[in-house]
Amino acid sequence: METLSRHRIRDGLLTMVAVGMVLAGGTWLYGIPYAPMPLDQLVHHADGVVRARVARVEPELRPDGRGVLTRIHLLILDWYMPGEAGGAPTIEVVQGGGQVGPRFERPYLDAGFRPGQERVLFLRWNQRGGYWLVLGIVQGVFDIVPEGENGEEESSRLIARRTLGHAHGTEEESAAVEAMGMEHFEDCLRRHIAERNRIRVEDEEVGR
């Protein structure tokens, strides 16, 4: 009976962790892939959505000395959904993990920011810290690349591509790759944003 209770407690804790990962936009838990958060859910949970180019990536030690964080400086090309810094030409995004000198740490899920990348990012605003975070770490990151970039014949058509997985920071363990034409992606994105705004206006009117 006591063993059964311990098993129930363990299973309950694992379930709580799994639910927490899904709600936070997590993709992997102990190597198990979860379905990616769809566009409408990304829009629902985001505080801002931008199309941006990575300008600088600056890893540094945390002030408390417990690990590394990386500051990603972005040149904003378009604010699809303004947030706290809506309309600003540049913003800074903070992500756990990075490299400072010989010290190296990476988060369990790594979005792999590099200067020159063009991306669509779904962002959350950290009110307490006063900075932006990427929603779900890799969930809220879409690369904008030419079609056929991976060794195939490239075309002038751009696609929005999201790669989920990178468990333990290794590309070999990547999960699904999701891609769609950039025009279709932006049409869907703007439609979901318009729907989100409509619902929020209705909720405000009901609350008056």
Angstrom distance (rounded) from CA 97 to CA 69: 5
Q: What is the pLDDT of residues 153-162, one digit of tens each?
A: 566 799 999 8
- What single letter denotes the amino acid at residue 147? E
Q: What is the pLDDT of residues 31-78, one digit of tens each?
A: 334 567 899 999 999 999 999 999 999 888 877 777 778 889 999 999
Distances (CA, A) of 72 to 56, 57, 81, 91, 163: 6, 5, 19, 8, 19
CA distance 45 to 43: 6
pLDDT of res. 24: 42
At 153 the pLDDT is 55
Q: Which residue has the higher pLDDT, 75 or 150?
A: 75
Q: Calculate mean pLDDT across residues 99-123.
A: 72
Q: Which two tokens stand for residue 47?
A: 């505080």
Q: How far apart are the first and last CA of the chain?
A: 54
Q: Domain map of the chain by residue range?
A: 38-207
Give the pLDDT confidence score for residue 109 in this predicted structure: 46
Q: Using an 8 Å Cβ cutoff, are 37 and 136 in contact?
A: yes
pLDDT of 18 strictly over 90: no
What span, in angstroms and rounded, lies between the C-alpha atoms of 101 and 48? 33
| Dihedral pair phi/psi, residue 182, rounded to 5° | -60, -40
**Would you tell me which CATH number, out of the four given (2.40.30, 2.40.50, 3.40.50, 3.40.1000), belongs to the domain 38-207?**
2.40.50
Residue 118 has pLDDT above 80, yes or no: yes
The torsion angles phi and psi of 101, rounded to 5 degrees, stand at 60, -135
With b meaning 16 or more CB within 10 Å and e meaning fewer, what string describes 125-159?
A: eeeeeebbbbbbbbbbbbbbbebeeeeeeeeeebb
pLDDT at residue 127 in the model: 86
The model scores a pTM over 0.75: no
- Is residue 193's pLDDT more than 90? yes
- For the segment 131-147, the average pLDDT, to the nearest whole number, is 90
